[in-house]
Amino acid sequence: MTRLGLIGAVVLVVLGMQCTAGLGATADGAGTAELAKLAAEIAHRPRDTALNLRYAALAERLHYDRLALSTFERILSYDPQNADAQAGIDRVRRRLQPATTQWLLGLSAIYESNPTYVPRGASEGEGQFFGDLKVRDERNFDDVRWRTDGEIYGTAHSLDTYLDYAYAGATTGPLLEVVPGLTAAPAVGGGASYFDGNFFYGEGVAQTTFEAYPDGAYESIRIRGALRDYNTFFVPDQLGGYVDVTGKFTFPSIVPYTSFVFTPWLRWTSIEGMLGPVNPIVGIQPGDYTEFGARGDLLHSFEDWVILGANLSLYERDYRDEFVAGSTTVKRSDFIVQPGASIIFPHLYQYQNTLRIDYTFMKDNSNDPTHTFIDNIVTVTLYRSF
C-alpha cells in the first residue's frame, strides 16, 4: 500500500466512524454501520474501485455528500479516466453548490447614423438609450439543480420614437448531466413585448442549452423554439413562430492573453406579414424567412484593466414569401456584413463595474435596392453586476 493510499484510507475510516457516531441520529442506523464497515474494508484495499464506488453510493444515499465527494476524488487520484467517479464528482458538487442569484444591469448611450435604415440619400442620425437587466437564479430542489433566467430590456429613441421597443421574459428548468463535463439545461418560459406605443406580441418559449467547460472555457449550443401571438395592429396573422440553433465556442490563441469566440446560428421563422420597409427593431423580426450566419470576436488583454476587441458578423436572410420590388419571381435575399471594434475596461473603480465602448459598421447587401442600406453605430455601455 502506498503512503497516499494509506492516508486516504485512514481518513475514510475516521470520517466513517464520525458519521456513525455523530450523524447516526439523522440517518438510517444500519446504513451508517454499513458505511463504517465499508470504510474499514477500504483501509485494506484502498484501490479497489468497486468497493470505493459502493462506499460513495451509500454515502450519497445517506446524504453524506462530502464523504462521497472525497471518495470520488480519491478514485480519480489513481484512475483519472474513471467515468463513474467523474460523473459522481460532478453530481455531488452540484448538490453542494449554494443557492445563488446574480444580477447584471447594463445602461447604454447609443448614436446611430441611419436608425430607419434609409436605402438611399441622407438619413438623420439620432441618440438612443438602451437599458437591460438580467437575472440568473440557481438553487437545489432535492437532488436537482434548478436555473431561472429573466430579462427586461428596452430602447428609447430621441427622434424616431415610433421605434421605441421593450421586452420582458423569463425561462426556468433543471440542470441535467448528460455525460461527465456536459450539462443540459432544458427550460420553458415566455415573454411579452411593446413596440410603437402598443402591445406587440406575447410568446411561449421552449429551449435546451448544452453547456461544457473544456479547459475552463465556456462553450454552449442552444436549441430554441417559440410560438408568438401578435397584435393584429402590426401583422395580419396573429400566430407565428420560429426555431433556431445558436452555438458559442471559445478557442485559445497561440498569442498570450488572446482568445477567439465563435458564435454561429441558424434560424427559421414563419411569422406572416411585415412591418413595412422600415423594420429596425430589436429581436427576431416578423417574416417568413431562413437566416444563417456567424460572429467572430477576437479579444486581447493588454493589461488587467483594458481589453481590445475586433469582431465580424456575416449573415444571410432568405425570404420565402417576399419578392424583390417590381418582380413576381425573384425572392428577396439580404446579406449583412457587420464589422466592429471594442474597448473594454473591466473592474472600473470597483470589481463589479465594466465600461465598454463599441463601434459597428452595418451594410445590408440586398438583391432588392429598396432594402439596401448602410448604418454606423457607436455604443457606450456601463455594466454593473450584483
Domain boundaries, the chain: 3-96, 100-385
What value does the mean pLDDT take over residues 127-150?
Answer: 94
- Quote the pLDDT of residue 307: 96
Other beta carbons within 10 angstroms of residue 227's beta carbon come to 14
Give residue 216's pLDDT band: very low, low, confident or very high (50, 70, 90).
confident
**pLDDT bracket for residue 370 (50, 70, 90):** confident
Residue 120: pLDDT above 80? no
Q: What average pLDDT does range 174-195 have in this prediction?
A: 91
pLDDT tier at 108, thresholds 50, 70, 90:
very high
Asked: is 100-385 a CATH 3.30.1330.10 domain? The reply is no
Q: How far, in Å, are 22, 182, 208 from residue 25 at the CA level? A: 7, 37, 41
Average pLDDT of the residues in 27-49: 84
**Closest by alpha carbon to 115, among 165, 166, 168, 167?**
165
Is the model more confident about 224 or about 63?
Answer: 224
**Interval 240-258 mean pLDDT:** 91
pLDDT at res. 110:
97
240 compared with 128, residue with greater pLDDT: 128
pLDDT mean over 148-167? 94
pLDDT band at 308 (very low <50, low <70, confident <90, very high): very high
Q: What is the pLDDT of residue 273?
A: 61
What are 95's three cell numbers?
Answer: 448538490
* Residue 61 pLDDT exceeds 60: yes
Helix and strand counts by DSSP (H, E) for the chain: 5, 14
In 3D space, the residue among 173, 181, 169, 267 whose CA is nearest the CA of residue 220 turns out to be 181
Specify the amino acid at residue 98.
Answer: P
Q: What residues contact residue 43 under an 8 Å CB cut-off, 6+ apart? A: 9, 10, 12, 13
Is the model's pLDDT at 360 over the cut of 90? Answer: yes
How many Cβ atoms are within 10 Å of 189's Cβ, its own excluded?
18
Report yes or no: 80 and 74 within 8 Å, Cβ to Cβ.
Answer: no
Q: What pLDDT, on a 0 to 100 scale, did the predictor assign at position 276?
A: 53
65-69, 171-175, 295-299, 378-382: least confident range: 65-69
